[in-house]
Amino acid sequence: MRFRRSPFFVIVFAGILCGGWQICKADFLSLDLVEEEIPPPSFVYGAGYAGRFFAGGIDNYGELSTHYRVNKNWAFGVKGDFNFSRSGFLAGAFGHYLPSGNLFEEQAENFLHFGLDYIKMENAHSPLLSLGYGRDILFWKKSPLGLRMLARLEYAFANHIFSRKNDGLFGMKTIKLANTAFALEIGLWGY
């Protein structure tokens, strides 16, 4: 038996193809509803790791922090860092300026960090100013957990609070001194 091309079969076949394509293309699960805008969380708690680079080396810190979001664009908080590399700690307050204020819409949010801290390292202590840039990232839309990454430049007022003893050239002991540090922070936060 030979297949005949009749206009009827061609129209039926084209209708099935077109209709099937439209069904596959249609999204029956979504409705034309406007999602309610959810404000970002007010209180956020976090824990993480901060590495401070200074005087040719790195010190490792564990960190706990919390902040309160005053409005869409500003958040203020407190933190405590504990030095695992040598005896010392850091305690302070910070402010974050969040230009977009759309954490849940974009699933990520950039911020500027301004901080005033107190640092104690072995026998030295000093106030510490910090300025940085960071990003909060949600794991999925409207997630209660997120990832925070932050890079900071820090300046201590006390002379040479950031110091490191090294075996220098030919085994001579040297001490590198610094007033500035660069910190990289990565951690988890939740609300």
Residue 76 lies in a domain: yes
Over residues 67-77, mean pLDDT: 92
Q: Is residue 69 part of a domain?
A: yes
Helix ranges, 41-137 (H): 103-106
pTM attached to this predicted model: 0.72
How far is residue 112's CA from residue 135's CA, in Å, rounded to a whole number?
Answer: 9
Q: Which of 77, 59, 60 is nearest to 68 (CA)?
A: 77
Instruction: Confirm whether 97 is domain-assigned.
Output: yes
Q: What's residue 25's pLDDT?
A: 47
Q: What is the CATH number of the domain that holds 98?
A: 2.40.160.20
Task: Please check whether residue 30 lies inside any domain of the structure.
Answer: no
| Two tokens, residue 88 | 């010392």
Containing structural domain, residue 70:
43-190
- Residue 21, both tokens: 């394509």
Question: 142 and 186 in contact (C-beta within 8 Å)?
Answer: no
Domain count, the chain: 1
105 domain residue, yes or no: yes
For the cut 90, the answer to whether the pLDDT of residue 181 exceeds it is: no
Q: What contacts 161, CB < 8 A, 6 or more positions away?
A: 119, 121, 124, 125, 126, 179
Higher pLDDT, 167 or 44: 44
Cross-strand bridge partners of residue 61: 50, 83
Q: Answer whether residue 36 is part of any domain.
A: no
pLDDT of residue 34: 60
Within a domain: 33: no
Task: Give percent above pLDDT 90 in the chain.
Answer: 37
Contact 132, 153 (CB under 8 A): yes
Alpha-carbon distance of 163 to 148, in angstroms, equals: 28
- Per the domain annotation, does 128 fall within a domain? yes
